[in-house]
Chains A and B, each alone.
Chain A
Amino acid sequence: MTPLTTPVVDPARQASPEPEVFAGYELGAAYDEMFAAPDGPRAHYAALHARLATTSPDDFRQRKAMTDLSMREDGVGFTVYRAEEGIERVWPMDPVPRIIPAAEWRRIEEGLVQRITALNLFLWDVYHEQRILRDGVVPARLVLQGGFFRREFVGVDVPRRIYVHICGTDLIRAADGTYLVLEDNARTPSGVSYMLQNRQVLKRVFPSLFNDYDVLPNDDYPAALLDVLQWIAPPTAAQPVVVLLSPGIYNSAYFEHSYLAQRMGIDLVEGRDLFVDGNRVFMRTTRGPRRVDVIYRRIDDDFLDPLTFRPDSALGVPGLVNAYRGGTVALANSVGTGIADDKGVYPFVPDMIRYYLAQEPLLPNVETFRPEIPAERSHVLANLDKFVVKRVNESGGYGMLVGPASTREQREEFRAAIEANPRDFIAQPTIQLSTHPTFVDGRLDGRHVDLRPFVLCGERVTVTPGGLTRVALPKGSLVVNSSQGGGSKDTWVLADHDHAPAGGVS
């Protein structure tokens, strides 16, 4: 960008070119999804890049406005936990899709299948024989004294031995592009409705983007989920009645609950709609009680049943857990899966894969330090400004220290907390997360993204092509959570054949 000392042509007479949306696009230290180098996009992004480059900022602004309007009219709202009145906010979607080539996706898919398979074997093991603990592969104390271990479920046989039916695993990319597992969400992962909604909206507001690519559809997810839910129904149920149990309209993920229930054609119930009689679960209908066989529950263990867990919970169903133990009703996910996605257990997942499957993990973990080990603790404490420190029992981007972006006070606060309870923390080197062109302030700029694919485990393990790409909208921010100012993108997995993207753009 050397300034020209003498104009080549009189600027007044030059046909004013459309301002270029990529002007001033900066590449940082992070891996950029679209650009390998400043002068050119990666091959699988070339056609998209060409199309975007000829889109004027005004056109872009218009499409972005259509996206927002579309989201608002569909009521794709979520509630922010810490906002005063639970104000409805619309989930911001960026109209530039993220693209994953077929070969890259195949690797991700295999890695995820491997991972959820190991997690399910681990859960069955810790609730039965506890071999992995006796063999010392995972510290027994870590599991048995973890806040998410449900001793009430030791020895209980869950349907088809599946604990985690629905898993959302968060992937990030290191500076060299390697996909790393940041965390597993094996309790009640959310976001899949946004994945589906984003595709619908993008097709509406920017259909021309789809012309140059063969994008794998993701629309089968609700049907695949219903297959899983029916697969785990008690064998006595010929035509199983499946319901989705939601905490109600004030829950931040309520949109997703109603969306999925509708797409599956099942009833969305709240705790007060259900009751247990004779250790069997029923719902209250206009024609009297109706038997329920499978519950896709979007309520955490703690709130599921006041008789078993938190007695002050008004969201759950008294007696539900006992009915589940008795096998008269199935739950997805099962009770007690929190021990599998506990951040304290996370560092041991690669070892679980080796232990149960005798395979090398296809998707590596992020390097993780455990302050409870003295040597690692001193290393972490000495480098707090370089690490991301997380509380093991928090999620959603809360209770986190991002070292490079932290203040001295915050670091001191965490230092004291780590020294007091080292077991409550893990620390990871700050990974830059990959960046992706995102429409901000009238042009495209790099923003950090992650990827949450959704894995279903029933008769087979399936991974829906794509997933939810979350994007941290503030410049330089590494926190992508919707509750912390994140947005999302449509995520394209390309069809698995040699498809040369159309070169020219008209």
Chain B
Amino acid sequence: MLSRVADALFWMSRYLERSEHVARAVDVTFQLDLDLHGVLADPVELEWNALLSLLRMPPPEPRPGSTAAAAAMRWILVDTRNPGSVLSCVNRSRNNARSIRGSISPLMWRELNKLHWRLTDTGLQARVAESPHDFCEETRIGVLLFHGVCESTLTHDESWHFIQLGRYLERAEKVLRILDSRYALLDSGDTTDLPIATLQWGAVLRNCGAYEAYRRLFISRVEPERVVEFLLVNPDFPHSVRFCLAKIVDSLAEIAGRLPDRCDDEASRTVGRLLADLVYLDAAGLDGERLHSFLADAMVRCARIGAHLQRQYALV
């Protein structure tokens, strides 16, 4: 496959995954905002600022006649001057797809193109001010449709595996970052305010699309340690870091055309070691500080995987 095509497949998939995460984060923050409204002193600004810093976005310019929440939502979802906004991510994904239309199935292009047109609908964008839910839902459904179509219409060859790499690498990084944004809560030890802790850790799970899956596994209150463990090392849940890394290991092996247990390239070695560290992680013994340093190290290593990929496959 052309190196340029591999690169575009990778980024098409990465940006699309990113748009889904950003959309979900906005929706979750909005719901949390409504829940906490009467409970905390000034939660509104706080939550939206926390979200902007999680997404590593600068704050929006204040808009007269618009609440902080509404301004933040517009900025994060539809403002194309914000390169990380959902619409910007979908546009970048679509532009990558456009540059390699011949290498993906026509239906994949069609779904992605339809998503782009739906999200640019001015009616849908206007409704964001009141509730971001419809916009976020359109995004998530669109992304899921795209991957469903991809799964069934594209041959699972090298190109399919580059799509998987982009998707799971982005997802692993995002889950690590979401956990890292909340590690301090682990030490607060504030058990007096259970309902609020439940809401906040529930939001972490929802941010990772993991709430229902977690509930099915643990029939109890949302417990912070279990949340961390579930999102990091559960082998079967598609949004756990371990699951993502295992997918990356498999795809790298398929691309290189060898067995997954023979790691003889830098990208495979880096991801393999990180996966091993996760598998043998003593999650129960993690306090906030140790969790933070583990997560920080894991994020650095994920970034390194991307760099190795670029070098190995000349993804320029």
Q: Which A residues contact B (CB, under 8 angstroms)?
A: 72-75, 244, 248-249, 254, 258-259, 261-262, 266-270, 272-273, 283-287
Contact = CB atoms under 8 A, between A and B. Distances in A.
Interface residues of B, number: 23
Contacts of B98: 75, 249, 254, 258
B2 A73 contact: no
A254 B1 CA distance: 20
A238 to B, nearest CB: 21
Given A258-B102, A273-B4, A72 B313 contact: no
Given A73-B110, A249-B99, A258-B101, A286 B117 contact: no
A128 to B, nearest CB: 37
> Per DSSP, are chain B's interface residues mostly helix, strand or loop, or mixed?
helix
B314 to A, nearest CB: 6
B3 interface: yes
A286 B313 contact: yes
B314 A284 contact: yes
Nearest to B105: A262
Interface of B: 1-6, 95, 98-103, 106, 109-110, 113-114, 117, 158, 255, 313-314
Contacts of A283: 2
B145 to A, nearest CB: 13
A262 B4 contact: no
A262 B117 contact: no
A269 B4 CA distance: 9
A269 B101 CA distance: 11
Contacts of A284: 2-4, 314
Given A74-B113, A259-B101, 20 more contacts: A72-B117, A73-B117, A74-B106, A75-B98, A75-B101, A248-B99, A249-B98, A254-B98, A259-B102, A267-B2, A267-B103, A268-B102, A269-B2, A283-B2, A285-B1, A285-B3, A286-B3, A286-B255, A286-B314, A287-B1
Contact of B110 (A74, A248, A272): A74
Given A73-B113, A73-B117, A268-B102, A249 B2 contact: no
B6 A286 contact: yes
A266 B103 CA distance: 9
B150 to A, nearest CB: 15
B1 A286 contact: yes
A273 B2 contact: yes
A91 B202 CA distance: 48
A269 B2 CA distance: 8
Nearest to A72: B117
A65 to B, nearest CB: 14
A485 to B, nearest CB: 23
Contacts of B100: 258, 268
A270 B316 CA distance: 13
B3 to A, nearest CB: 5
B71 to A, nearest CB: 26
Contacts of B3: 273, 284-286
15 contacts: A73-B117, A249-B95, A249-B98, A258-B101, A259-B102, A262-B102, A262-B106, A267-B2, A267-B103, A272-B4, A273-B3, A283-B2, A284-B4, A286-B6, A286-B255
Given A268-B102, A285-B1, A75 B158 contact: no
B117 A267 contact: no
B110 A285 contact: no
A217 to B, nearest CB: 19
Contacts of B2: 267, 269, 273, 283-286
Looking at B5, B95, B101, B109, the one whose CB has the most chain A CB atoms below 10 A away is B101
A202 B273 CA distance: 55
A194 to B, nearest CB: 15
A273 B117 CA distance: 30
